[in-house]
A and B are shown apart, each in its own frame.
Chain A
Amino acid sequence: MTNLEKYNKIIKDYLGCSDDELNDDVLIYNRYPKWDSVTHVDMVAAIEEKFCVMFETLDITSFSKYSTGIEILRRLGVDI
């Protein structure tokens, strides 16, 4: 599995979304029904564990749509 596939799998598992929904128009924090603050915290923890990284505090709030998670991972040195 590529890193992007791993990332997508976590997103789909936690948000219950389909492949078609993996984009910034649909997956927006606090707007996409299942992406609330409870799921958010758990999902961040799962991403951190999978990629062995630690988000900074501000990353957690800036992770507010599908693509920002990828950007944060890249900044943390993940090849994705």
Chain B
Amino acid sequence: MAGREFPFSMRKEEKDRYLTSELVKLTDYHREHCPAYRKMTDALGCDTRSVSHYSQLPYLPVSLFKQLRLSSLEGDEDFKTVTSSGTSGQQRSQIILDAQTRTDQQVALTRIGSDFLGKNRLPYLVIDCPATIKKRDHYSARTAGILGFSIFGAHRTFALKDDMSLDLEAVEDFLDKYKDKKFLIFGFTFMVWKYFCRELEERQIKLDCSKAVLLHGGGWKKLADQAVSKEEFARRLKNVCGVERVMDYYGMTEQTGSIYFECECGHLHCSDYSGIIFRRPEDFSVCDIGETGIIEVLSVLPKSYPGHILLTEDQGRLLGVDDCPCGRPGPYFEVFGRIKNAELRGCSDTYEDRS
């Protein structure tokens, strides 16, 4: 699994077979090693022997990781806890990662990212502050993102000071050195917007990032009320810094590694490591192509915690399978953001989102 050379190699039939077999194995594994998961899946009447397609496997609501610390590790194994970047006042997810799962995640991320960014590393400008990566045993999603994408970057430079103000001197110094060749800008969507794009606009500063690829993800979080469309986001960024290629990704702390990158055609892609299903909110049946539904994410990577099949709180729709003009086989889709609170009530939890 983690040894596959190409992250985009499987067409529908092979992929269905592969994912079903891997995810059945993982479901059995976690049922054996995580008592809480066993109990929940028992209650759902889980019997993996009767499963013919991965869409029949039980899914956990992603918010469950905010309430329970779910681990499939033996007691004394070495592990790290990653927390999600929840909004203030809200519970954060806790994900238990051992060395093997962390390594598998990094390999997957490397293979998928290289397919989009190339195998040579690029000068790397981070729209965040140095303090974000200082904490060692408690990783936030922002830390994980900055470090994760560091493998694609070199000469890492932070664009913000620790008080979140723009470090214009550092940015200009970076651009003086690297602006004439392709380079990478990375940040969480709301950070790029608030502390980079809006800041440059307000201070009426123009930068030359015309050769950059700007990679962003993570959504709007507590800035949901200020969210702008994808087109507006790209247009405003281009206006302040000339960036031509703005690339989104979809991914979550609960399934790090098997990330979904946006291709040149503006479509998010499933790699060989992952699957995606859209479910109708009224009965959780599987949507047709083009029909909006709740996103379920599937990943073959989680071994230390039972997070291989998760129902998210996001909605989106499948755009097609195996026929994206970019040439990558597999499903491709788009994401519309969070589901309205009401729709998830009664699903499994009473989690309240104030964002």
Seen from chain A, the residues whose Cβ lies within 8 Å of a Cβ on chain B are 28-31, 36-38, 41, 45, 48, 54-58, 60-61, 64
Contacts and interface: CB of A to CB of B under 8 A. Distances in A.
Contacts of B119: 56-58
A39 to B, nearest CB: 9
Nearest to A33: B78
A63 to B, nearest CB: 10
B120 interface: yes
Interface string B262-296: 00000000000000000000000000000000000
A78 B107 CA distance: 25
A30 B103 contact: yes
Interface residues of B, number: 25
Given A38-B147, A41-B156, A45-B156, A61 B121 contact: no
Given A41-B147, A41-B150, A48-B154, A31 B99 contact: yes
A57 B148 CA distance: 11
A16 B152 CA distance: 26
Given A61-B107, A64-B103, A56 B147 contact: no
Interface string B116-134: 0101110000000000010
Contacts of A31: 78, 99
Contacts of A61: 103, 106-107, 110, 151
Contacts of B78: 31
B218 interface: no
B331 interface: no
A59 B143 CA distance: 21
26 contacts: A28-B99, A30-B102, A31-B78, A36-B136, A37-B106, A38-B133, A41-B147, A41-B150, A41-B151, A41-B156, A48-B154, A56-B120, A56-B121, A57-B110, A57-B113, A57-B114, A57-B117, A57-B119, A57-B120, A58-B110, A58-B111, A58-B114, A58-B119, A60-B110, A60-B121, A61-B103
B99 A54 contact: no
B213 to A, nearest CB: 14
**Sorted from nearest, which 5 A-B pairs have the closest CB atoms?**
A30-B99, A60-B151, A41-B150, A61-B110, A37-B147
A61 B106 CA distance: 7
A41 B151 CA distance: 8
Nearest to B114: A57
A55 B121 contact: yes
A37 B110 CA distance: 13
Contacts of A58: 110-111, 114, 119
Interface in B134-164: 136, 143, 147-148, 150-152, 154, 156
Contact of B121 (A29, A36, A38, A57): A57
B279 to A, nearest CB: 34
A67 to B, nearest CB: 17
A61 B151 CA distance: 8
B205 to A, nearest CB: 28
Most buried by B among A28, A57, A58, A64: A57
Contacts of A64: 103
